Amino acid sequence: MDKFLVAPPLHSGDDPAPPPPPPPPPRRHRWRRIAVELDGRIDARFRHRESRLLLDSFAEVGAFDHKYYMHGEERCRTYVDRMISASTMNLPPREGVSAIEFDKKGIYFASVTFSGCLTVHDFETLYCSIYGRSCSMPDDSSNYVLHISNKISLNAIRWNPGNQDEIACTSTQSDKVFLFDIGYVSSAPTEILQKGKSKFPALYSESRKSLTDIAFTSDDNSRIFASGLDGAVYMWDRRSSKTHCLELMAPQESQFNTVKLSVDNRVQQLSSVKVSTLLGKIASLKEQSNIISSPILSIDFNPSCSYQLAFHLDDGWSGVLNVNNLSVTHLHCPPPAWLESMDLVSQKQLRKPTWLPTSSIYAVGSSSYDGIYLLDFHPDTSSACHVDYKEEKRGLEENQPAENKLVPLSQRVLSCAAHPLSHTIIAGTQFSSLLMLSQKHEAIRNLES
């Protein structure tokens, strides 16, 4: 033992210097994929970390104009309104894609326009056409499954979850629900549901009779709900009558722009909340923003987190309401519109966002830019949109959240829908075009490498 305790001899100038100590081994990052690859389970936190790669890969891969004929050389109303709007810049636009919806299996998607056109496309056909000779949709009837040009504006569309061929639409100019069967080559609806005698005739007026949104129950496709500008929600049971059988009125006279059913299809009114009041309770937001009341244009439940209800306001703000404790947990305030030149008329058009499947990414068209926001609404304080998120916590790569991303596009987006089995997004624009957002091949190769 003594020989190990003897001090080393002093170094003389004639002797060679001892070699420097070897550098420490490089620090290896913990292999985050090991648990996923062993047990096959993908937890929410892992998916949230990897969603940063997904957001960075999104880009516009295809644009399809609405240039359809009706009979012979006759153009449809949407195309005609596009030409009128282009030639008269001082008049409010009469066009735009007001809503888009995929069917449950992701085989078809349907869109409606403010001009009154209902169009159904085969998703695979449209996707494969991107890699053809042209990214523009030719004027040929084989490129769509169904195209109907109505005389009234259409503002909402829903697929029947129990019937792959049935679509329901509403109009801001009517108090009826129109149902179409894509198996029939006919411009006439196969069924029309209408409002019957109201329980609240004093609140009924001709200017507020229209329906703004519709929803099917997931457990029974015979029941349909619709929201109205008169401040009521109506329910139809198609097995018994074509007039509504249930009417729910708001406690105060108001207008409903949208309606969504929870997972358990509850219809009773449990509570009433005001988003501006909830925003005022967020101290950090109240210190730097003047919170004013703004109409709610759209709401939607997170398919991967049942208690998260996303909302989009008329002023461009988007956020999440926790329906369990009725608190706002996430919020995204886009840049003020005056920072960029923009069309003030298009800002007020109804915008309908969407959730990406199997993730907590919320997609919404920008009211100030030609693009779409992909927002991080992960149900945790590590989300970039969470009201309790601390900027100083960023640093370690493992804990770095997905950041909100603006994907630049060629046109202003009014509505969008995500494919139920993939992350491809179809966006409808103010010029009635359809834009496809997906991962570019270059981005996918980078992810794989």
For residue 23, what are its two tokens?
């550098």
Q: Span 211-230, mean pLDDT?
A: 87
pLDDT for residue 330: 94
Residue 316 has pLDDT above 70, yes or no: yes
Provide the mean pLDDT of the chain: 79
pLDDT above 90 as % of the chain: 31
Cβ contact 67:400 at 8 Å: no
Tens-digit pLDDT profile for residues 326-335: 999 999 988 7
What does the CA dihedral 293, 299, 304, 305 come to, rounded to 10 degrees? 40
Residue 299 has pLDDT above 70, yes or no: yes
pLDDT for residue 63: 92
- pTM for the complete prediction? 0.82
